[in-house]
Amino acid sequence: MAEIAPAPRKVFVHTFGCQMNEADSARMVELLGRHAFSRTPYPEDADLILLNTCSIREKAEHKLLSALGRYRAHKARRGTLLAVGGCVAQQEKDRLLARVPYLDFVFGPDNISKLPDMVERAARERFAETGWMASEEYLFPRADPEAARGHTTAFVTAMKGCDNVCSFCIVPHTRGREVSRPRQEILAECAALAEVGVREVTLIGQNVNSYAGGCDFAALLREVAAIPGVARVRFTTSHPHDLSDALIEAFRCEPKVMPHFHLPVQSGSDPVLLRMRRDYTVEAYLKRFDLLRAARPGIAITTDFIVGFPGEAEEDFERSLLLLERARFDNSFSFVYSPRPHTGAARRVGSAPDWSEVPREVAVARLERLQAVQRRISSETLAGELGKTVEVLVEGALEGEEGRRFGRTAENRVVHLDADIARAPAGALLPVRITRAHANSLSGVVAA
């Protein structure tokens, strides 16, 4: 008798947080696709709702709880399975099951490959699957190149986890030790993506420039750049202490490595950096920063700042402003310090005068000041692009705007194009004359 194929089921994925989570969500959908699931953009149609979470700041956890509250109605109406993966799952484990009684299962980042089995198991019991895979046995989920067909850009996982001990950060607790993906696997994935039309590859990992999967990170970048069809290579995110001379050299010599570097500094004050356990001084950071700028003139350097870290005095904060003015970062992501469980800073806050808590209203006011300075610098930088002709990789249509397309410059600046699909098809690298500069993006026309 012929086997009856299982009825197709639908999965809706809600992703919180960083590119690592975006990539994990894509792998989950591809894996479930091999088990008769298809992705739906509508949670009300789903048989399974997956929430892939972030716990880097407390706010991210609150967002998870309010999203779960919204999805509860779908469970009541049609028995939808509700599952939480990612960093909050790893942090909270079965405490999350106890806290959210209508949740079916919880799974940590190392358990993605078991997802099809977990879905079947959820019919019988509620559970938390949050064990770790031994580093030497760790298998990186492989991207399905077919899912990337029609896309111009793709993320490729190069490593996972983090061996640093920054005192504010929960990542080592939720993502475990660093494991680098074997070089051949990365190269094969990039080549398969290039074959289906992907032109820009971004290598990702919590601390990607400490990569050690058979070669160093600079060598990996060069090898990816050499793959036929790959026009642009990017990476994120990096720790300043792994900004090696070899990596700076790759920026000097390899034109396919794009002139954009996200190099989180966190603070412009040495005593704060010391308490953060960042293992560099502002001077050492700027030294590497200047070498990078000299190796690749025009490189766009972006960063992260935390304000209101325990013990941050007004003069410490002002040093962050000074650093911002000195470095003129292309952009920065800045956050109010959020105490996280299992971190050194959360344990020490209030234990000594230099670990005193910064009142929230002080921290929020500092954040606003820092962001105002960044907005001015960013808009001055973007205004400096007016009239230039730059190379743009076209990514697609601008939603809701007939006859307008968008893409990015080599420096990762978003450009809106007055052009139709025939003039600017996805994947095309076009010379674009910049005609307008906005707060966060540029507009332009395709140059003759």
Q: Which residues bind ligand SF4 (CB under 6 A)?
A: 162, 164, 166, 169, 171-172, 206-207, 239
Nearest by Cα to 100 from 78, 139, 71, 143: 71
For the CB of residue 47, give the shortest distance to ligand SAM in the complex, in Å: 32
x/- track of binding to ligand SAM for residues 197-236 (CB under 6 A): ---------xx-----------------------------
**Residue of this chain nearest to ligand SAM (CB atom):** 264
Cβ atoms of 419 and 402 closer than 8 Å = no
x/- track of binding to ligand SAM for residues 9-38 (CB under 6 A): ---------x--------------------
For the CB of residue 395, give the shortest distance to ligand SAM in the complex, in Å: 24
For the CB of residue 334, give the shortest distance to ligand SAM in the complex, in Å: 8
Give 362's contacts (C-beta < 8 A, 6+ positions apart): 308
Cβ atoms of 129 and 174 closer than 8 Å = no
Please name the residue that has the structure tokens 């029609």: 150
Query: Residue 172 binds which entry of ligand SAM, ligand SF4, none, with Cβ cut-offs from 5 to 8 Å by kind?
Result: ligand SF4
Transcribe 116-169 into DSSP letters.
HHHHHHTTT--EEE-----GGG--PPPP-HHHHTT-SEEEEE-EE------TT-
For the CB of residue 328, give the shortest distance to ligand SAM in the complex, in Å: 19
Question: Binding to ligand SAM by residue 159, rule CB under 6 A?
Answer: no
Query: 334 vs 378, which CB is nearer to ligand SAM?
Result: 334
Residues 371-400 within binding reach of ligand SAM (CB under 6 A): none
Cα dihedral 71/76/79/80 (nearest 10): 0
x/- track of binding to ligand SAM for residues 41-60 (CB under 6 A): ---------------xx---
How far is residue 233's CA from residue 216's CA, in Å, rounded to a whole number?
16
How far is residue 134's CA from residue 5's CA, in Å, rounded to a whole number?
35
Query: 282 vs 432, which CB is nearer to ligand SAM?
Result: 282
**Beta-sheet strands, E only, within 293-360:** 300-307, 331-336
How far is residue 144's CA from residue 137's CA, in Å, rounded to a whole number?
21
Instruction: Give the binding site for ligand SAM (CB under 6 A).
Output: 18, 56-57, 168-169, 171, 206-207, 237, 239, 264, 266, 304, 306, 335, 337-338, 340
